[in-house]
Every structure is written in structure tokens, then in C-alpha cells.
Amino acid sequence: GRRKRWQIESFRCILDAIVGDEALCVVDFCCGSGNFGLALAALLPKCSFLLLDRNAHAIDLARQRAADAGLSNVSVVVGNVE
């Protein structure tokens, strides 16, 4: 709960400083079901987010959660980091 919220808010501050007015692509490696990346995608709609994990079931959940949230700036991919 609180710790995850703090992590997301802290990372958003960092991304805000980096992104500025640019529309960057943020890659969430080993994203699991997308808890971190989807929250950031909702907070930073001008950026695109690529969620990557090798677990197909987790990616299916992330894909469904992104669709349910109406996030058009998110792509999800099953694959390895290599």
C-alpha cells in the first residue's frame, strides 16, 4: 500500500524532471501484471509505456488492466530482456 504509492510518486517526480515537455517512451522491464508501469502511464499520459515480462499470464493481466483503465499509451509484450 503506502510503500508502493511512495515508490510510484517518487518515480513520477523523477520522470517529470526528465520528461519536461517531451513525450518519451518508458520501458518497464519485468513488469509482472503492470502495477508500477500502469500507474505511471495514467499519471504521464503524454509518454508511451512499454511493459515487458516473460510471464505470458502476467502480461495478459497487464494488457487487460491497461484496457480496463482506458490507457492508450501502453503496449505490453511477452519476452526476455535480452
SS3 50: strand
Instruction: Summarize pLDDT for 18-37 with one digit per residue, the tens.
Output: 777 778 899 999 999 999 89
- pLDDT for 43: 87
pTM: 0.82
- pLDDT for 15: 77
pLDDT along the chain (82 residues), means of 10: 83 77 88 93 92 97 97 96 80
